[in-house]
Protein backbone atom coordinates (compact mmCIF):
# COMPACT_ATOMS: atom_id res chain seq x y z
CA UNK A 1 0.00 0.00 0.00
CA UNK A 2 1.38 3.41 -0.99
CA UNK A 3 0.79 6.18 1.57
CA UNK A 4 0.45 9.68 0.12
CA UNK A 5 1.92 12.69 1.91
CA UNK A 6 -0.16 15.84 2.55
CA UNK A 7 0.98 17.57 -0.65
CA UNK A 8 0.39 14.51 -2.84
CA UNK A 9 -3.01 13.94 -1.23
CA UNK A 10 -4.03 17.54 -1.90
CA UNK A 11 -2.70 17.51 -5.46
CA UNK A 12 -4.58 14.33 -6.35
CA UNK A 13 -7.88 15.70 -4.99
CA UNK A 14 -7.91 19.36 -6.12
CA UNK A 15 -9.61 18.53 -9.41
CA UNK A 16 -12.14 16.34 -7.64
CA UNK A 17 -12.91 19.17 -5.20
CA UNK A 18 -13.63 21.52 -8.11
CA UNK A 19 -15.81 18.83 -9.67
CA UNK A 20 -17.68 18.43 -6.38
CA UNK A 21 -18.46 22.19 -6.39
CA UNK A 22 -19.77 21.90 -9.94
CA UNK A 23 -22.11 19.03 -9.02
CA UNK A 24 -23.48 21.05 -6.09
CA UNK A 25 -23.94 24.20 -8.19
CA UNK A 26 -25.62 22.34 -11.06
CA UNK A 27 -27.75 20.12 -8.82
CA UNK A 28 -26.94 16.85 -10.61
CA UNK A 29 -24.17 14.68 -11.99
CA UNK A 30 -25.57 14.94 -15.51
CA UNK A 31 -25.67 18.76 -15.52
CA UNK A 32 -22.12 18.98 -14.15
CA UNK A 33 -20.95 16.49 -16.79
CA UNK A 34 -22.50 18.57 -19.57
CA UNK A 35 -20.93 21.79 -18.26
CA UNK A 36 -17.48 20.22 -18.07
CA UNK A 37 -17.78 18.10 -21.23
CA UNK A 38 -17.29 14.89 -19.27
CA UNK A 39 -19.26 11.67 -19.15
CA UNK A 40 -21.68 11.18 -16.27
CA UNK A 41 -19.80 8.06 -15.21
CA UNK A 42 -16.50 9.99 -15.05
CA UNK A 43 -18.10 12.59 -12.76
CA UNK A 44 -19.63 9.90 -10.57
CA UNK A 45 -16.35 8.00 -10.28
CA UNK A 46 -14.44 11.19 -9.34
CA UNK A 47 -16.91 12.06 -6.58
CA UNK A 48 -16.74 8.49 -5.26
CA UNK A 49 -12.93 8.70 -5.20
CA UNK A 50 -13.13 12.02 -3.33
CA UNK A 51 -15.47 10.51 -0.72
CA UNK A 52 -13.03 7.63 -0.21
CA UNK A 53 -10.17 10.12 0.16
CA UNK A 54 -11.95 12.14 2.88
CA UNK A 55 -13.58 9.03 4.38
CA UNK A 56 -17.00 10.71 4.42
CA UNK A 57 -20.17 10.59 2.37
CA UNK A 58 -20.56 14.02 0.80
CA UNK A 59 -23.65 13.60 -1.40
CA UNK A 60 -26.93 11.76 -1.13
CA UNK A 61 -27.99 10.46 -4.57
CA UNK A 62 -31.57 9.85 -5.61
CA UNK A 63 -32.99 9.25 -9.04
CA UNK A 64 -34.19 12.86 -9.22
CA UNK A 65 -31.64 14.94 -7.36
CA UNK A 66 -28.39 15.17 -5.49
CA UNK A 67 -28.17 16.85 -2.11
CA UNK A 68 -25.33 17.41 0.32
CA UNK A 69 -24.93 15.58 3.58
CA UNK A 70 -23.94 17.48 6.74
CA UNK A 71 -20.32 16.58 6.03
CA UNK A 72 -20.82 17.62 2.44
CA UNK A 73 -22.09 21.07 3.44
CA UNK A 74 -19.08 21.66 5.68
CA UNK A 75 -16.69 20.39 3.01
CA UNK A 76 -18.38 22.50 0.33
CA UNK A 77 -17.81 25.72 2.30
CA UNK A 78 -14.06 25.09 2.19
CA UNK A 79 -14.08 23.92 -1.43
CA UNK A 80 -16.04 27.00 -2.50
CA UNK A 81 -13.55 29.23 -0.69
CA UNK A 82 -10.74 27.43 -2.51
CA UNK A 83 -12.46 27.95 -5.87
CA UNK A 84 -13.04 31.65 -5.14
CA UNK A 85 -9.39 32.13 -4.19
CA UNK A 86 -8.30 30.28 -7.34
CA UNK A 87 -10.48 32.48 -9.54
CA UNK A 88 -9.10 35.61 -7.85
CA UNK A 89 -5.55 34.36 -8.44
CA UNK A 90 -6.22 33.82 -12.14
CA UNK A 91 -7.99 37.18 -12.45
CA UNK A 92 -5.11 38.96 -10.75
CA UNK A 93 -2.65 37.65 -13.32
CA UNK A 94 -4.97 38.53 -16.20
CA UNK A 95 -5.32 42.01 -14.75
CA UNK A 96 -1.56 42.31 -14.29
CA UNK A 97 -1.01 41.63 -17.98
CA UNK A 98 -3.68 44.13 -19.03
CA UNK A 99 -3.27 47.00 -16.53
CA UNK A 100 0.07 48.46 -15.40
CA UNK A 101 0.23 47.98 -11.65
CA UNK A 102 2.39 46.51 -8.93
CA UNK A 103 6.06 47.25 -8.32
CA UNK A 104 8.48 47.77 -11.22
CA UNK A 105 12.10 46.99 -10.32
CA UNK A 106 14.76 48.53 -12.57
CA UNK A 107 18.55 48.56 -12.36
CA UNK A 108 20.63 51.04 -14.37
CA UNK A 109 24.00 52.86 -14.33
CA UNK A 110 23.98 56.12 -12.39
CA UNK A 111 24.72 58.43 -15.36
CA UNK A 112 21.48 57.34 -17.04
CA UNK A 113 19.31 58.36 -14.10
CA UNK A 114 18.73 62.06 -14.78
CA UNK A 115 18.88 61.88 -18.56
CA UNK A 116 16.81 58.76 -19.27
CA UNK A 117 15.36 56.95 -16.28
CA UNK A 118 13.98 59.76 -14.09
CA UNK A 119 11.83 61.35 -16.83
CA UNK A 120 10.42 57.93 -17.71
CA UNK A 121 9.61 57.07 -14.09
CA UNK A 122 7.97 60.46 -13.59
CA UNK A 123 5.78 59.90 -16.63
CA UNK A 124 4.80 56.40 -15.55
CA UNK A 125 3.84 57.59 -12.07
CA UNK A 126 1.60 60.28 -13.55
CA UNK A 127 -0.11 57.85 -15.92
CA UNK A 128 -0.31 54.57 -13.98
CA UNK A 129 -0.82 53.17 -10.52
CA UNK A 130 2.59 51.52 -10.19
CA UNK A 131 5.43 51.68 -7.70
CA UNK A 132 9.05 51.84 -8.82
CA UNK A 133 12.20 50.55 -7.17
CA UNK A 134 15.25 51.93 -8.98
CA UNK A 135 18.71 50.55 -8.22
CA UNK A 136 21.54 52.69 -9.59
CA UNK A 137 25.18 51.68 -9.65
CA UNK A 138 27.99 50.04 -11.51
CA UNK A 139 27.46 46.49 -10.28
CA UNK A 140 25.74 44.13 -12.70
CA UNK A 141 23.02 42.28 -10.85
CA UNK A 142 21.40 38.94 -11.53
CA UNK A 143 17.95 39.80 -12.89
CA UNK A 144 16.41 36.46 -12.06
CA UNK A 145 17.93 35.99 -8.63
CA UNK A 146 17.49 39.63 -7.55
CA UNK A 147 13.97 39.84 -9.02
CA UNK A 148 14.47 42.80 -11.37
CA UNK A 149 12.05 43.43 -14.23
CA UNK A 150 14.50 45.37 -16.43
CA UNK A 151 18.21 46.16 -16.49
CA UNK A 152 19.44 49.12 -18.56
CA UNK A 153 23.08 48.83 -19.63
CA UNK A 154 25.72 50.79 -21.53
CA UNK A 155 28.62 48.98 -23.22
CA UNK A 156 29.18 45.94 -25.35
CA UNK A 157 26.18 43.69 -25.68
CA UNK A 158 26.45 40.28 -23.98
CA UNK A 159 27.35 37.59 -26.49
CA UNK A 160 26.09 34.65 -24.51
CA UNK A 161 23.12 35.35 -22.30
CA UNK A 162 19.91 33.60 -21.35
CA UNK A 163 18.35 37.05 -21.05
CA UNK A 164 16.53 38.93 -23.80
CA UNK A 165 18.47 41.91 -25.19
CA UNK A 166 16.61 44.91 -26.60
CA UNK A 167 18.94 47.53 -28.05
CA UNK A 168 17.96 51.18 -27.79
CA UNK A 169 20.82 52.37 -29.97
CA UNK A 170 24.54 53.03 -30.29
CA UNK A 171 26.34 56.15 -29.13
CA UNK A 172 29.89 57.38 -29.82
CA UNK A 173 32.37 57.79 -27.02
CA UNK A 174 33.99 61.23 -26.72
CA UNK A 175 37.15 62.61 -25.12
CA UNK A 176 36.61 65.22 -22.43
CA UNK A 177 38.73 67.32 -20.08
CA UNK A 178 38.61 70.41 -17.91
CA UNK A 179 39.09 73.73 -19.67
CA UNK A 180 42.76 74.12 -18.69
CA UNK A 181 43.82 70.61 -19.74
CA UNK A 182 41.77 70.73 -22.94
CA UNK A 183 43.88 73.64 -24.23
CA UNK A 184 47.02 71.45 -24.17
CA UNK A 185 45.78 69.10 -26.88
CA UNK A 186 46.03 69.75 -30.61
CA UNK A 187 46.92 66.27 -31.92
CA UNK A 188 46.28 62.72 -30.64
CA UNK A 189 50.01 62.36 -29.90
CA UNK A 190 49.64 65.08 -27.24
CA UNK A 191 47.46 62.73 -25.18
CA UNK A 192 50.14 60.13 -24.42
CA UNK A 193 51.89 62.06 -21.64
CA UNK A 194 48.74 63.42 -19.99
CA UNK A 195 47.07 62.33 -16.74
CA UNK A 196 43.93 60.23 -17.15
CA UNK A 197 40.88 59.37 -15.07
CA UNK A 198 39.43 56.06 -16.24
CA UNK A 199 36.55 53.78 -15.41
CA UNK A 200 37.71 50.41 -14.11
CA UNK A 201 36.08 48.68 -17.11
CA UNK A 202 37.72 50.90 -19.73
CA UNK A 203 40.77 49.63 -21.67
CA UNK A 204 44.11 51.41 -21.41
CA UNK A 205 44.39 51.82 -25.18
CA UNK A 206 42.03 54.06 -27.11
CA UNK A 207 41.77 54.23 -30.90
CA UNK A 208 40.98 57.43 -32.78
CA UNK A 209 40.08 57.86 -36.46
CA UNK A 210 39.87 60.92 -38.69
CA UNK A 211 39.77 61.14 -42.48
CA UNK A 212 41.27 57.71 -42.98
CA UNK A 213 43.91 58.09 -40.25
CA UNK A 214 43.95 55.63 -37.34
CA UNK A 215 45.84 56.36 -34.13
CA UNK A 216 46.22 54.24 -30.99
CA UNK A 217 46.95 56.04 -27.72
CA UNK A 218 48.30 54.25 -24.65
CA UNK A 219 46.81 55.58 -21.42
CA UNK A 220 48.36 55.59 -17.97
CA UNK A 221 45.42 56.34 -15.63
CA UNK A 222 46.29 58.31 -12.52
CA UNK A 223 42.88 57.48 -11.07
CA UNK A 224 40.55 54.55 -11.70
CA UNK A 225 36.92 54.71 -10.55
CA UNK A 226 34.04 52.25 -10.84
CA UNK A 227 31.37 54.93 -11.40
CA UNK A 228 31.14 56.95 -14.63
CA UNK A 229 29.62 59.99 -12.94
CA UNK A 230 32.60 60.18 -10.59
CA UNK A 231 34.99 59.89 -13.53
CA UNK A 232 33.30 62.88 -15.16
CA UNK A 233 33.27 64.85 -11.93
CA UNK A 234 37.01 64.32 -11.44
CA UNK A 235 37.68 65.21 -15.07
CA UNK A 236 35.67 68.43 -14.73
CA UNK A 237 37.81 69.31 -11.69
CA UNK A 238 40.98 69.10 -13.77
CA UNK A 239 42.32 65.82 -12.35
CA UNK A 240 42.91 64.40 -15.83
CA UNK A 241 41.46 63.52 -19.23
CA UNK A 242 38.67 61.02 -19.64
CA UNK A 243 36.11 59.65 -22.05
CA UNK A 244 32.51 58.52 -21.86
CA UNK A 245 29.53 57.84 -24.11
CA UNK A 246 27.83 60.82 -25.70
CA UNK A 247 25.20 62.14 -24.96
CA UNK A 248 25.86 60.97 -21.39
CA UNK A 249 28.68 63.44 -20.83
CA UNK A 250 26.48 66.10 -19.23
CA UNK A 251 27.05 69.77 -20.01
CA UNK A 252 29.32 71.22 -17.32
CA UNK A 253 30.91 74.64 -17.13
CA UNK A 254 34.34 73.05 -16.61
CA UNK A 255 33.98 70.11 -19.03
CA UNK A 256 35.24 70.49 -22.60
CA UNK A 257 35.22 68.23 -25.65
CA UNK A 258 38.76 67.25 -26.74
CA UNK A 259 39.76 66.61 -30.39
CA UNK A 260 36.20 66.89 -31.77
CA UNK A 261 37.48 66.11 -35.27
CA UNK A 262 38.57 62.63 -34.20
CA UNK A 263 36.18 59.73 -33.58
CA UNK A 264 36.37 56.98 -31.01
CA UNK A 265 34.36 53.76 -31.03
CA UNK A 266 30.68 53.30 -30.23
CA UNK A 267 28.96 51.51 -27.36
CA UNK A 268 25.42 50.17 -27.13
CA UNK A 269 22.66 51.30 -24.82
CA UNK A 270 20.35 48.35 -24.26
CA UNK A 271 17.85 46.70 -21.98
CA UNK A 272 18.03 43.21 -20.53
CA UNK A 273 14.76 41.39 -19.86
CA UNK A 274 14.28 38.06 -18.11
CA UNK A 275 11.91 36.84 -20.84
CA UNK A 276 10.35 37.84 -24.14
CA UNK A 277 6.94 36.35 -23.29
CA UNK A 278 4.28 37.14 -20.70
CA UNK A 279 5.80 40.44 -19.60
CA UNK A 280 3.67 42.30 -17.03
CA UNK A 281 1.98 45.45 -18.30
CA UNK A 282 4.15 47.59 -16.01
CA UNK A 283 7.27 46.25 -17.76
CA UNK A 284 5.83 46.77 -21.24
CA UNK A 285 4.90 50.41 -20.61
CA UNK A 286 8.37 51.08 -19.14
CA UNK A 287 10.05 49.58 -22.22
CA UNK A 288 7.93 51.68 -24.58
CA UNK A 289 8.44 54.86 -22.55
CA UNK A 290 12.21 54.33 -22.34
CA UNK A 291 12.43 53.79 -26.11
CA UNK A 292 10.47 57.01 -26.67
CA UNK A 293 12.71 58.92 -24.25
CA UNK A 294 15.80 57.53 -25.98
CA UNK A 295 14.52 58.85 -29.31
CA UNK A 296 14.06 62.29 -27.76
CA UNK A 297 17.56 62.33 -26.24
CA UNK A 298 19.34 61.19 -29.40
CA UNK A 299 17.39 63.66 -31.55
CA UNK A 300 18.39 66.48 -29.19
CA UNK A 301 22.04 65.34 -29.26
CA UNK A 302 22.10 65.33 -33.05
CA UNK A 303 20.67 68.84 -33.10
CA UNK A 304 23.46 70.30 -30.95
**Coil vs helix vs strand at 67:** strand
Structural domain ending residue among the three candidates 35, 67, 97:
97
Q: Is residue 1 part of a domain?
A: no
C-alpha 41/C-alpha 280 separation (Å) is: 42
C-alpha 192/C-alpha 220 separation (Å) is: 8
What pLDDT, on the 0 to 100 scale, is given for residue 302?
67
Contact 107, 141 (CB under 8 A): yes
Residue 183 carries which DSSP code? Answer: T
- Shared domain for 250 and 286, answered yes or no, is yes
Is the pLDDT at 4 greater than 50? The verdict is no
- Shared domain for 210 and 157, answered yes or no, is yes
Which tens digits make up the pLDDT trace of 67-81? 899 999 999 999 988
C-alpha 278/C-alpha 261 separation (Å) is: 46
Which tens digits make up the pLDDT trace of 168-183? 999 888 999 998 899 8
Contact 211, 202 (CB under 8 A): no
- Shared domain for 131 and 65, answered yes or no, is no
- pLDDT band, residue 2 (cuts 50/70/90): very low
Q: Is residue 177 part of a domain?
A: yes
C-alpha 75/C-alpha 58 separation (Å) is: 8
Entry pTM: 0.66
Q: How many domains does the chain have?
A: 2
C-alpha 80/C-alpha 25 separation (Å) is: 10
Q: Is residue 182 part of a domain?
A: yes
Contact 248, 115 (CB under 8 A): yes
Parent domain of 20: 6-97
Q: Is residue 102 part of a domain?
A: no
Which tens digits make up the pLDDT trace of 86-111? 877 776 666 566 788 889 999 998 87
**Coil vs helix vs strand at 211:** coil
Q: Is residue 42 part of a domain?
A: yes
Tell me the average pLDDT of the chain: 85
Residue 20: give its domain's CATH number: 1.10.10.10
- Shared domain for 153 and 236, answered yes or no, is yes
Residue 114: give its domain's CATH number: 3.40.190.290
Structural domain ending residue among the three candidates 97, 121, 155:
97
- Shared domain for 49 and 144, answered yes or no, is no
C-alpha 165/C-alpha 35 separation (Å) is: 45
* Backbone dihedral angles phi then psi of residue 219, each to the nearest 5 degrees: -100, 150
pLDDT average, residue stretch 4-18: 71
Amino acid sequence: MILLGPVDRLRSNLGRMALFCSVVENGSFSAAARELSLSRSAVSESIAALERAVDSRLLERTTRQVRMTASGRLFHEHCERMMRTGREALDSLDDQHQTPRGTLRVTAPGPLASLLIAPVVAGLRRAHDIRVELSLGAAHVDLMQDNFDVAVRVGNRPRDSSLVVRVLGNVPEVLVAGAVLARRIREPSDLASQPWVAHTAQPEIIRLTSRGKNVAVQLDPAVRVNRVETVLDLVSRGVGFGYSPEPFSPPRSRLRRVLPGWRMGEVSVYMLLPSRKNLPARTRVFIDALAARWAEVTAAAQGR
